[in-house]
């Protein structure tokens, strides 16, 4: 079966992108994964239009990547905050992959703006492409695609 004959939108990349493939979605997920939780925190940090944030958060909640939960600050009425669910946290590797690419190709002479370290040992974190047998691979080379006909419809 040839790649060109397959429908564009039944691959996992297309499906994922149809939910999160938006300039803002990635940044919202980044901010949530960095601990921001409240509507106005996100507004302030992202400089996103309020109605757009409303729609995006609703979509994320719909998807089950984010949950609204009530919280109450002293002397304030109860409000909702937004937190990543497990499904949302599973998205973090995508963000790390994006960050890696930016670090490699867009960082200036001063180096990358943020580095990730393993809290336990302090060593820098990277994303590795590895096969189940343990061989590390460089992207693009030595990768074979196997199509699952049963999952290709719709």
Partner DNA sequence: AACCTAAGTTTGGCAGGCAGACTCAGACAG
Partner DNA sequence: CTGTCTGAGTCTGCCTGCCAAACTTAGGTT
Residues 75-134 that bind a second copy (CB under 8 A): 84, 87, 89-108, 110-121, 123-133
Question: What does 50 interact with, of DNA, a second copy, none (CB < 5 to 8 A by kind)?
Answer: DNA
CB of 24 to a second copy, least distance (A): 9
Which residues contribute to the site for DNA (CB under 7 A)?
22-24, 38-41, 47-52, 54-55, 57, 74-81
83 binds, among a second copy, DNA, none (CB under 5 to 8 A by kind): none
Q: Under the criterion CB under 8 A, does residue 73 sit at the interface with a second copy?
A: no
Q: How far apart are CA 62 and CA 68, in angstroms?
A: 11
Q: Measured at the alpha carbon of residue 104, what is the angle toward residues 103 and 108, in degrees to the nearest 5?
A: 65
Gap between the Cα atoms of 71 and 38, Å rounded: 10
If DSSP codes are grouped into helix, strand and coil, which group holds residue 136?
Answer: strand
Task: State the Cα–Cα distance between residues 31 and 27, nearest whole angstrom.
Answer: 6
Site for a second copy contains 11 (CB under 8 A): yes
Report the residue number, 28 or 91, with the smaller CB distance to DNA: 28
> Strand 66-71 to strand 79-84: parallel, antiparallel, or no bridges (unpaired)?
antiparallel
């Amino acid at each position: 079966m040839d790649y060109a004959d397959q429908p564009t939108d039944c691959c996992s990349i297309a499906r994922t992108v149809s939910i999160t493939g938006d300039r803002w979605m990635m940044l919202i997920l980044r901010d949530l994964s960095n601990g921001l939780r409240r509507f106005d925190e996100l507004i302030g940090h992202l400089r996103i239009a309020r109605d757009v944030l409303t729609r995006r958060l609703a979509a994320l909640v719909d998807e089950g990547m984010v949950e609204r939960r009530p919280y109450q600050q002293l002397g304030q009425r109860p409000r909702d905050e937004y937190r990543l669910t497990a499904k949302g946290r599973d998205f973090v590797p995508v963000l790390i992959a994006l960050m890696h690419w930016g670090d490699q190709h867009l960082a200036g002479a001063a180096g990358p703006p943020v580095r990730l370290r393993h809290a336990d040992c302090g060593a820098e974190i990277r994303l590795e492409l590895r096969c189940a047998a343990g061989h590390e691979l460089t992207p693009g080379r030595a990768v074979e695609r196997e199509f699952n006909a049963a999952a290709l419809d719709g």
